[in-house]
Structure 1
Amino acid sequence: MAHVTVIGSINQDITVTTERFPGPGETLLGKDVSYRLGGKGANQAAAAARAGAEVTFVGAVGSDDAGSAVRAQLAEFGVDVEPLAVTQNSTTGTAHITVDSGGENTILVVPGANGALQPGDIAHAATILGGSQALVLQCEIPTPVNLAAINLAREAGVDVILNLAPAIEFPREALANLSVLVVNETEAALVLGDATPPSGSEEALVVAARLRELGPRRVVITLGSRGAVYDDGESAGHVPAGHARRVVDTTGAGDATVGVLAASLAFGTGFRTAVANAMAAGARAVESEGAAASYPRFELVR
C-alpha cells in the first residue's frame, strides 16, 4: 500500500459567498457562511487519501472548538491524525475566504498553532517516515520546521515533495534535497528572482529547467486553466488542464493537485502520468464549494 506523510498546516476555513468582492472601505452583504476543514497541509492530506493512499498528518491545532472540529473532519477522510498535536498557547489556524459568483476567491490566513510549530515538535515523524513513500510539505508552517522535515526524510530515504506556497523565500541549498518542487508561475519567478512570471507553456518549460538547476530532481509548474509543465531531467513537457464541468469554487484546487500528485508517485506512477492525474484532480475540485470538502474520490491512472 502506498503511504504518504504530510507535515503542514491545518485550518478552519471560514468561507463567505458573495456576488462580488468588496472594494476598500466598502461593506457588502454576503449570501452564506460555512466553517470547514482547510489549510494547505490538511487539504493535500485529504486529497492524497481520496486518491487511495494511506496518509498520516503531522501538525498542530489549538485547544479550542475549531481544533476539535477540523481534527475530526480530517479523520473522516481516512487520514491518521494521531500525531496531530494540541497546543495550549495558540488558537487553531483560520482562513477567512471570500468567494464571488464566478468562483474566484480571496484568502486571508491567520496561522495560529501552525505558526507556533517548532522543529522539535515533529521529531516523532522520523518513525512515521520509515513506512512512507513520500513526504509532502508546504509553506504555511515555519521554514525551520520544513528544513527539519527535509532532513528527517533524507535520513529515512523518503522522497520529498515541496509545494512552495504561499510564495516565500526558501533556502536554495535545501532545494537540492527535494524529489519534486511544485510551484505556480508567481512562485517560480520568486525562487529565481525574476521580475515577471513566465507567460505561456514554452516560457514555463524554460523556467522549469532553470529551477532544476537549483537542485530538485523534478519540477512541476502549475499554470491554472492552462494546465502544467514538468521537467524530470529525462523529459519535459506540457500537460493540459483537466476538464471541469462547471466552476463553483477554486479554493483548494491547487492543494488537490499536490495531494494527488503525491499519491500517484507513492503508488509508483510515471511522472508525466502523475502530473496528468494531478491536473484531472484540480479540475474536479473546482466543481463544488469548499476546499477539502469539495474533493471527490479521485481515480488514478497508473
Structure 2
Amino acid sequence: MEEITVVGSINVDIVAFSDHYPNRGETIFGRKMAVLSGGKGANQAITSARLGKKVRMIGSVGCDLYGDTVLDAMTKNGVNTSYVKRVKETSTGCAIITVDATAENTMLVVKGANDNLTAEDIQKAFSEINGSKVLLVQMEIPEEAVIEAMIQARNKRMFVILDPAPADGITGRALQYADLIVPNKQETKQLTGIEVTDRDSAHQAAEYFDQIGIKNSIIKMGEKGSLVYENGKTEYIEGIRVKAIDTVGAGDTFAGALGSALASGANLVDSVKFANVVSAIKVTKQGAQAGVPTLEEVRDFCEERGISHYLSKTIKA
C-alpha cells in the first residue's frame, strides 16, 4: 500500500447555510448549521485514506473537546494520528464558514493550536517516517513548519505537493521547495498578479511560475477545469459538471486525490483527471470530510458517467 504524509492544519468547522451572505452590519436568518471536522491538512489526509492509501498526519490540536472530535474523525477514517501533538495553551483551530445557495463559501479561520506546530516537531516526526512517496502540505500552519516539512521530505525523496492555500497565508519562500503547486484562481493572482479567467491567462500564470523555478503546476479554475503545466508542456483538463451542494474542502479533496494517484504511479495528467472526479463527487455532498467519496464510490460514478478510463490500472489502492 502506497504511503502519504500530510503536514497541515486540523480544525473544527462551524458551518452556516444561508440563501445569501449578510452585508456588513446586517443580520439575516440561515437555513441550518453544522459542526464538522475540517482543516486543510486533515481534509487531505482523510481523502487519501478513503482512497485506500496509508496516511500519516502531522499537526497540532488543543486539549479540548474539539481536539478529541477531530482526532477521532481521522482515526475512524484510517489516518495515523500518532504524530499529531496536543497543546494546553490554546484551543483547537476553528473555521467559521458560510455556504450560500450557489454552494459557494466564505471562511474565517482562527488557527489556534495549528500555530503551535514547530520545525522541531517536524524534524522529530520525520526522523521516524520512512516509506512515504508523497508529501502534501498547505499554508494554514507556521511557515517554518511548512518549509521544514518540505526540506525533510525532499531529503527522503518524497514528491512534494504544495497547496498554496489560503491566499492570505502564502509566502514566496515555500515555493522553491515544491515539486508541484496546485493554486486556485485567487491564490494564483496572489502569487503572480495574473487574473485567471481562461486557458490563456492560466497558461501565462503557469509560465510565470516556470520562470521563477516552479516547473510543475496545476492552475485550478473551478468549473472551468484545470490547466496542467509540466516541464514546459501544457494540457487542459475539463471540469465535470455536477449539482453542487457544498464546495467547502473541494480543493483539499482535489489535493488528496491527486497525491493518491501520483503515489500509485499514475502520470500527472491522469492524476488530475482522477482528482477532478473525486472533487466533483465531494461537492455534491455536505461536509469537507463527510462528503469525501471512497474508491468504490469513485468507480461507481465513473461507470455511471461512462468515464471509466479515468481509473487507469495505476490509480488504485
TM normalised by structure 2 equals 0.90
Give the residue type in structure 1 aligned to 2:291: S
Contact 2:196–2:221 at 8 Å: present in 1 too?
no
Point out the more displaced range, 291-300 or 112-121.
Answer: 291-300
2:140 alignment partner AA: E
Q: Which amino acid aligns with 1:170?
A: T
Question: Within 5 A, what are the aligned runs for 1:120-131?
Answer: 120-131=120-131
Report which stretch shifted further, 24-33 or 40-49.
24-33
- The answer to whether the Cα contact below 8 Å between 2:9 and 2:141 also exists between their aligned partners in 1 is yes
Which residue of structure 2 aligns with residue 116 of structure 1?
116
Match of 1:219 in 2: 217
Structure 1: segments with no counterpart, 5+ residues: none
Report if the CA contact (8 A) 1:212-1:218 is conserved. Answer: yes
AA at the equivalent of 1:226: K
RMSD of equivalent CA atoms: 1.5
Percent identical: 34
Letter in 2 for 1:162: L
CA distance in 2, matches of 1:185, 1:48: 24
Contact 2:195 2:201 in 1 (8 A): no
Alignment check: 8 A CA contact 1:242 1:281 kept: no
**1:28-177 paired onto structure 2 within 5 Å:** 28-167=28-167, 168-172=169-173, 174-177=174-177
Aligned to 2:185: 185
Quote how far apart the aligned CAs of 1:291 are.
0.6
Give the deviation of 1:213 after TM superposition.
2.5
The separation in 2 between residues aligned to 1:93 and 1:177, in whole angstroms, is 26
- 2:273 and 2:200 mapped to 1: Cα distance? 18
The CA distance in 1 between the partners of 2:23 and 2:65, in whole Å, is 32
Cα deviation, residue 129, structure 1: 4.0
Tell me, yes or no, if the aligned pair for 1:178 and 1:215 is still in contact at 8 Å.
no
Q: Gapped runs of 5+ residues in structure 2?
A: 299-310
Q: Which residue of 2 aligns with 1:206?
A: 204
* Aligned counterpart in structure 2 of residue 236 of structure 1, from 227, 234, 237: 234
Contact 2:87 / 2:113 at 8 angstroms: preserved in 1?
yes
- 1:254 maps to 251
CA distance in 1, matches of 2:129, 2:162: 15
User: In the TM superposition, what whole-angstrom CA distance separates every residue of 1:237-267 from its partner, at most 9, and x where no partner exists?
Assistant: 11011232x2111111111101000111011
Q: Which residue of 2 aligns with 1:12?
A: 12
1:177 offset after TM fit, Å? 2.6
Which residue in the other structure is 2:302 paired with?
none
Which region of structure 1 is more displaced relative to structure 2, 267-276 or 234-243? 234-243
Distance (whole Å) between structure 1 residues aligned to residue 52 and residue 240 of structure 2: 19
Distance of 1:219 and 1:65 partners within structure 2: 38
Paired position in structure 2 for 1:273: 270
Following TM superposition, by how much is the alpha carbon of 1:17 offset from its aligned partner in structure 2, in angstroms?
1.3
> Which whole-Å CA distance do the structure 1 matches of 2:2 and 2:201 have between them?
34
Q: Which amino acid aligns with 1:250?
A: T
Does the 8 Å contact 2:54/2:79 carry over to 1? yes
Shift of the 45–92 alpha-carbon distance from structure 1 to 2, 3 Å rule, reads same
CA distance in 1, matches of 2:74, 2:258: 19
Aligned residue for 2:260, secondary structure, equals helix
Report the Cα offset of residue 121 of structure 1.
Answer: 1.7
Q: Which stretch shows the higher mean deviation, 24-33 or 87-96?
A: 24-33
What amino acid is aligned across from residue 63 of structure 2 in structure 1? Answer: S
Q: Bigger shift: 150-159 or 127-136? A: 127-136
- Distance in 1 (CA, whole Å) between partners of 2:221 and 2:172 is 24
Residue aligning to 2:291: 294
User: Deviation of residue 30 (structure 1)?
Assistant: 2.0
Show CA shifts across 1:114-142 (max 9, x none): 02221112222213542100001000001
Q: Normalising by structure 1, report the TM-score.
A: 0.94
**What displacement does 1:160 show?**
0.7
- Asked if the contact 1:242–1:282 (Cα under 8 Å) also holds between the matched residues in 2, the reply is no
For residues 161 and 215 of structure 2, the distance between their equivalents in structure 1, rounded to whole angstroms, comes to 10
| Deviation larger for 8-17 or 95-104 | 95-104
Kept after mapping to 2: 8 A contact 1:178/1:217: no
SS in structure 2 of the partner of residue 80 of structure 1: strand
